[in-house]
Chains A and B, each alone.
Chain A
């Protein structure tokens, strides 16, 4: 390296080392200052002026929008209040909850089965599981639903039997109601996703845990239910709850197979009462927000349950516990 004169500015106190390379010391000890005298004073934390500017901007935008909620008459809040608890909306809500709830449980259990299939040493099982996931992750849910809706024309009867041997059959339409078909459709596609969520959770469990369980002679099924699955659930739960939220919203597609879920009801009412469309959309939005919030609260507690033992100290208090502790300490003070 040829020696060049290092850039010298007073501000960064640039110097050069023995080889002539610049060693920039941006913050050299200032001369003539008694550091010892400063050492006992509190250090001033770094200020963030840009943050304040951005905060102000965001607040202005939010307040502007908030203002329109009250000043713009098109929101028609009175009508929102009228529709919010109307029987039609509540019936739709019930169907949304039912379809989402059943599908969520079925898909979780199905997801475990398909995930275990994919992890199985049996090539037919793992191949079949892979194929299933491939098909149902590729095909849009709406397509699956409409396919199922037309199942009667594809397979007028449904049955099972020994291939080329005796068969047991029933009429497709007597067997499956619209809701059943809808739930099957949602679950079929949801299982494919949850299988991948479960599989990634199972793979995240340390190999040493399997080995310890084996070396202790714990029976195979119990190794899974007591040792591996509870640890896998720690990473499965957040990802799966995400899936459930997606499922909740995907259930609005049931409208296209003539099931009146929350969205379906709103859509129907909107065409009957075209002037109320905005308040109806607001009603649906608020209900979906409430449902998602409820799911998030449940998620918090489930995650907390599976987090036991993961920290060196006790888990932090839940918000509810904190409120109670604060109330207790207040009461203690007043005594």
Chain B
């Protein structure tokens, strides 16, 4: 435990976090002692994780291991009971008050979230809005001029190869296309960090490739990606770092060639033998 005694109420760069995160400018995300229970079931049991800037981290683990909860805690969709998350130089969702963390006002949390991309397993596109409206909704609501937002949206759609679909409704697209739109939507604020929660699990097998292809184009450009997935092939090819989670704890982490090919822990070996 490296937590230093925090100073009194502070705002932008919180001291406790700053000592840890700002100490290393190459860190994109720092998670410390992430603990979370649903009722009497503890799903995260004190997870520590550091993610380097511009890297691709893949989180693996059996279902119910807490990997989605951990990912959702990074943009505060899930509130931690204990522990903290620092993204860039900001504490996420909380600030330091005296000797405790205190939850931020929703407005501030929403502002933080807008800078972190999040891609859901079920796409969660807004079905009553066209593809273009889906992408411009958040930028316009946060003060970007509609004309500029539409221009940006068209650029993003081009990036994911769906420029011709802007006036379609989500249900008129295939699952793979919908997920590509969801990725374009998550890119609207040019986030430095994008979180993917099983982005290909709801797709027909033949559509997985196009989505992974789009995710691949986001790697190597300085954007940090954290991906919860069961696609071991993708992990081997694109990941810089693999984290294996089981029963709310990190069992093993390392480079893909180590964790995937020479897992040290028994539970990692068991899991890989089942999914490979």
| Residues of the B chain whose Cβ atoms lie less than 8 Å from the Cβ of A306 | 128
Q: Is B12 an interface residue (CB 8 A)?
A: no
- Are A227's CB and B172's CB within 8 A? no
Q: Within the assembled complex, what's the spacing in Å between the Cα atoms of A230 and B134?
A: 14
Which one of A31-39, A82-90, A210-218 is at the interface? A210-218
| Nearest residue, chain B, Cβ from A314 | B172
Q: Which of A209, A308, A312 contacts B124 (CB 8 A)?
A: A209
| Residues of the A chain whose Cβ atoms lie less than 8 Å from the Cβ of B142 | 217-219
| Residues of the A chain whose Cβ atoms lie less than 8 Å from the Cβ of B171 | 309-312
- Are A230's CB and B172's CB within 8 A? no
Taking CB atoms and an 8 Å cut-off, the chain A residues in 222-237 that contact chain B are: 222, 226-227, 230-231, 234
- Pick from A208, A217, A231 the residue with the most CB of B within 10 Å: A217
Assess A215 versus B75: contact at CB under 8 Å? Given A230-B128, A309-B171: yes
Q: How many chain A residues touch the partner (CB < 8 A)?
A: 26
Q: Within the assembled complex, what's the spacing in Å between the Cα atoms of A219 and B113?
A: 11
Determine how close the nearest CB of chain B comes to the CB of A215; give it in whole angstroms.
4
| Residues of the B chain whose Cβ atoms lie less than 8 Å from the Cβ of A218 | 110, 137-138, 141-142
- Are A217's CB and B138's CB within 8 A? yes
Determine how close the nearest CB of chain A comes to the CB of B128; give it in whole angstroms.
5
Q: Is A313 an interface residue (CB 8 A)?
A: yes
- Are A220's CB and B127's CB within 8 A? no
Q: Which of A219, A230, A234, A309 contacts B141 (CB 8 A)?
A: A219
Assess A219 versus B110: contact at CB under 8 Å? Given A230-B128, A306-B128, A309-B171: yes
Q: How many chain B residues touch the partner (CB < 8 A)?
A: 33
Assess A309 versus B124: contact at CB under 8 Å? Given A217-B110, A217-B111: no
Q: Which of B114, B120, B128 contacts A208 (CB 8 A)?
A: B120
Q: Is B129 an interface residue (CB 8 A)?
A: yes
Q: Beta-carbon contacts of B202-222 to A below 8 Å, as 1s and 0s?
A: 000000000000000000000
Q: Within the assembled complex, what's the spacing in Å between the Cα atoms of A213 and B186?
A: 11
- Are A208's CB and B124's CB within 8 A? yes
Taking CB atoms and an 8 Å cut-off, the chain B residues in 141-185 that contact chain A are: 141-142, 169-172, 185
Determine how close the nearest CB of chain A comes to the CB of B202; give it in whole angstroms.
11
Q: Within the assembled complex, what's the spacing in Å between the Cα atoms of A215 and B195?
A: 10
- Pick from B77, B110, B118, B125 the residue with the most CB of A within 10 Å: B110
Q: Is B40 an interface residue (CB 8 A)?
A: no
Determine how close the nearest CB of chain A comes to the CB of B170; give it in whole angstroms.
7
Q: Is B122 an interface residue (CB 8 A)?
A: yes
Q: Which of A213, A219, A230 contacts B107 (CB 8 A)?
A: A219
- Are B127's CB and A216's CB within 8 A? no
Q: Within the assembled complex, what's the spacing in Å between the Cα atoms of A191 and B107?
A: 31
- Are B138's CB and A309's CB within 8 A? no
Q: Within the assembled complex, what's the spacing in Å between the Cα atoms of A227 and B120?
A: 17
Q: Within the assembled complex, what's the spacing in Å between the Cα atoms of A219 and B106?
A: 9
Assess A212 versus B110: contact at CB under 8 Å? Given A218-B137, A218-B138, A310-B171: no
- Pick from B112, B116, B129 the residue with the most CB of A within 10 Å: B129
| Nearest residue, chain B, Cβ from A309 | B169
Q: Within the assembled complex, what's the spacing in Å between the Cα atoms of A303 and B109?
A: 35
- Are B138's CB and A208's CB within 8 A? no
- Are A216's CB and B137's CB within 8 A? yes
| Nearest residue, chain A, Cβ from B169 | A309
Assess A308 versus B138: contact at CB under 8 Å? Given A215-B118, A216-B113: no
Assess A220 versus B77: contact at CB under 8 Å? Given A230-B128, A231-B127, A306-B128: no
Q: Is B101 an interface residue (CB 8 A)?
A: no
- Are A313's CB and B172's CB within 8 A? yes
Q: Is B234 an interface residue (CB 8 A)?
A: no
| Residues of the A chain whose Cβ atoms lie less than 8 Å from the Cβ of B126 | 209, 212-213, 227, 231
| Residues of the B chain whose Cβ atoms lie less than 8 Å from the Cβ of A231 | 126-128
- Are A220's CB and B106's CB within 8 A? yes
- Are A212's CB and B128's CB within 8 A? no
Q: Within the assembled complex, what's the spacing in Å between the Cα atoms of A216 and B124?
A: 11
Q: Which of A211, A222, A226 contacts B120 (CB 8 A)?
A: A211
| Residues of the B chain whose Cβ atoms lie less than 8 Å from the Cβ of A219 | 107, 110, 141-142
Determine how close the nearest CB of chain B comes to the CB of A218; give it in whole angstroms.
5
| Residues of the B chain whose Cβ atoms lie less than 8 Å from the Cβ of A310 | 127-128, 171
- Are A211's CB and B127's CB within 8 A? no
- Are B106's CB and A212's CB within 8 A? no
Assuming A208-B120, A216-B118, A217-B111, what are 13 further A-B pairs, CB within 8 angstroms?
A: A208-B122, A214-B110, A214-B113, A215-B116, A215-B118, A218-B141, A219-B141, A231-B127, A231-B128, A309-B129, A309-B170, A309-B171, A310-B128
> Can you name 20 A-B pairs with beta carbons within 8 Å?
A209-B124, A209-B126, A211-B77, A211-B120, A216-B118, A216-B138, A217-B115, A217-B142, A217-B189, A219-B110, A219-B141, A219-B142, A222-B141, A227-B126, A227-B137, A308-B128, A309-B130, A310-B127, A312-B171, A312-B172
Question: Which 6 pairs across A and B sit closest by C-beta, in order of nearness?
Answer: A217-B114, A309-B169, A212-B124, A216-B138, A215-B118, A208-B124
